């Protein structure tokens, strides 16, 4: 296994790096301050093909591989995690999931608009009473004639307030628990479906997060995604892809923290010398550098395995868990190196710190990923 980027991946890296510097950097701080989804920026990213980068070519996507997807997210997150969260959730949780599980008609209907960025997508498992334990989902779907009727609430859904289509995991046979779940494609405007934006998040304030509300929401039978009763499999396949997205975008934030810390340490002087000359500061930077490089290699390994057709579930958990934890630590180190200046939004490190914290929570908390890795190592299942 080698980790040199090929010509196409290098081209994607340099195109996205350029886009992030020219278009994302100027708006990132204000969008976070104002808690505003940057529509203009999203439109420009869509024009560049980022919303469909690794969706199938036959439906208007770029057909890129997982390594390219990770490279794109790292470059975006290196400037602003919010836009990376928007795009990676859109691709992994909705586009990729519909590509894998959708009927021809569903793919024809949704994928061209998702790939072009004309329509945003999301996936909803989490509920007010249901987080890590997806098998206990309470949102109920009942078949009435040719329609399923959904009732319940979903919480914390990325892109939820803007999405044209939501992949919603609901319970269709409560007696079966996790084996009774089914996935539905719920479209904006369907009767009984509404959303409510969630405000005052600690970070990623320029990405949309919403509650989804289903009150006798009528969904036609043809909008069932995958077989009835296979909702858990649909969700797990979406997680396999989305968790890699979290890992790669988190590496981007860690790299941004290194960039900011090095630059500040080279110019800030105390005791007559640049603070970067002090060994204790160099130790912080050395740790950040080694850990970020190790996380990037875990990401590339999992992405390369996925490109070879292996879901790489455990390797993805390792990448997601490790990258999230070291990025959070890198942000803390970078802020420490900035001293009091790091505590205001005159410098971006305070945004990196606030934004990256959620990476240890969403798409499986760090504890859940340790359980997945522990189950793999011991053969004993904490979730059973
Ligand atoms: C900004 C944001 C965006 C999000 N986007 C989405 C989205 O697009 N779609 C979606 O469906 N959800 C989304 N989520 C929800 C997210 O995936 C959940 O919050 C996450 O899965 C954890 O669930 P919970 O918050 O209910 O925590 P809980 O599951 O209640 O866990 C609380 C604590 O208990 C620990 N814990 C739980 N079980 C165990 C165990 N067996 N052993 C040890 N410790 C355990 C957890 O690690 C955690 O520390 C998002 C959340 C946020 C904040």
Exposure letters 330-341 (e unless 16+ CB within 10 A, then b)? bbbbbbebbeee
Please identify, by atom number, the ligand 1 atom nearest to the C-alpha of residue 89.
Answer: 8
**Residues recognised as catalytic:** 363
First to last CA, the chain: 34
Using DSSP's 3-state secondary structure scheme, residue 6 falls into: coil
Has residue 1 got a pLDDT over 80? no
Cβ of 123 below 6 Å from ligand 1 = yes
pLDDT tens-digit map of 294-341: 999 999 999 999 999 999 999 999 999 999 999 999 999 999 999 999
140-144/147-158 β-pairing: antiparallel
> What is the pLDDT averaged over residues 85-111?
98
**Helix, strand counts (H, E) of the chain:** 12, 10
The residue whose CA has the least distance to atom 6 of ligand 1 is: 157
Residue 140: band (very low, low, confident or very high) from pLDDT cuts 50, 70, 90: very high
Q: Cα–Cα–Cα angle for 165, 166, 170, nearest 5°?
A: 145
Tell me how far apart the alpha carbons of residues 124 and 170 are, in angstroms, rounded to a whole number.
Answer: 9
Q: Is the distance from CB of 247 to CB of 323 less than 8 angstroms?
A: yes
Residue 384: band (very low, low, confident or very high) from pLDDT cuts 50, 70, 90: confident
Query: What is the distance in A from the centroid of ligand 1 to the CA of 360?
Result: 9
Domains detected in the chain: 7-120 (1.10.540.10), 122-230 (2.40.110.10), 233-378 (1.20.140.10)
User: Which class for 329: exposed (0-12), middle (13-18), buried (19 or more C-beta within 10 A)?
Assistant: middle
Cβ of 195 below 6 Å from ligand 1 = no
> What is the pLDDT averaged over residues 86-96?
98
* Residue-level pLDDT at 3: 78
What is the chain's length? 384
pLDDT tens-digit map of 182-236: 999 999 999 999 999 999 999 999 999 999 999 999 999 999 999 999 999 999 9
Tell me how far apart the alpha carbons of residues 146 and 294 are, in angstroms, rounded to a whole number.
Answer: 51
> What is the pLDDT averaged over residues 147-154?
98
Residue 2: band (very low, low, confident or very high) from pLDDT cuts 50, 70, 90: confident
Cβ of 122 below 6 Å from ligand 1 = yes
> What is the pLDDT averaged over residues 103-128?
98
Mean pLDDT, the chain, rounded, equals 97
Query: What is the distance in A from the centroid of ligand 1 to the CA of 28?
Result: 26
3-state helix, strand, coil in the chain (%, to 5): 60, 15, 25
To test the ligand 1 pocket, which listed residue (82, 205, 328, 361) has its Cβ within 8 A of the most ligand atoms? 361
Tell me how far apart the alpha carbons of residues 62 and 316 are, in angstroms, rounded to a whole number.
Answer: 23
Has residue 246 got a pLDDT over 90? yes
* Residue-level pLDDT at 296: 98
């Amino acid at each position: 296994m080698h980790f040199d980027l090929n010509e196409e991946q290098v081209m994607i890296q340099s195109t996205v790096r350029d886009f992030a510097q020219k278009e994302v950097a100027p708006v990132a701080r204000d969008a976070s301050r104002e808690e505003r989804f940057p529509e203009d920026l999203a439109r420009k990213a869509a024009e560049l093909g980022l919303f469909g980068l690794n969706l199938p070519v036959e439906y208007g996507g770029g057909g890129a591989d997982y390594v390219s997807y990770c490279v794109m997210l790292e470059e975006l997150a290196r400037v602003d995690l919010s836009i990376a969260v928007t795009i990676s959730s859109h691709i992994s949780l909705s586009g990729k999931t519909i590509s894998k599980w959708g009927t021809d008609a569903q793919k024809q209907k949704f994928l061209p608009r998702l790939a072009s960025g004309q329509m945003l997508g999301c996936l909803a498992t989490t509920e007010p009473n249901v987080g890590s334990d997806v098998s206990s989902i309470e949102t109920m779907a009942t078949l009435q004639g040719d329609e399923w009727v959904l009732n319940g609430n979903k919480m914390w859904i990325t892109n939820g307030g803007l999405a044209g289509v939501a992949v919603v995991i609901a319970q269709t046979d409560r007696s079966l628990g996790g084996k009774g779940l089914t996935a539905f494609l719920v479209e904006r405007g369907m009767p009984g479906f509404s959303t409510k934006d969630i405000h005052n998040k600690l970070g990623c304030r320029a990405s949309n997060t919403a509650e989804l509300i289903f009150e006798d929401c009528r969904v036609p039978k043809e909008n069932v995604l995958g077989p009835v009763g296979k909702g858990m499999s649909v969700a797990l396949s979406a997680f396999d892809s989305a968790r890699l997205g979290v890992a790669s975008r988190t590496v981007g934030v860690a790299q941004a923290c290194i960039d900011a810390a090095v630059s500040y340490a080279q110019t800030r002087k105390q005791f007559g010398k640049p603070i970067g000359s002090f060994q204790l500061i160099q130790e912080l930077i050395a740790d950040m550098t080694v850990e970020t490089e190790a996380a990037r290699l875990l990401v590339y390994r999992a992405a390369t395995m996925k490109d070879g057709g292996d879901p790489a579930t455990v390797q993805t958990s390792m990448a997601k868990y490790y990258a999230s934890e070291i990025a959070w630590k890198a942000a803390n180190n970078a802020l420490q190196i900035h001293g009091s200046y790091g505590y205001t939004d005159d410098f971006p490190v305070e945004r990196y710190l606030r934004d990256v914290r959620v990476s240890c929570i969403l798409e499986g908390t760090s504890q859940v990923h340790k359980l997945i890795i522990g189950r793999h190592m011991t053969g004993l299942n904490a979730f059973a």
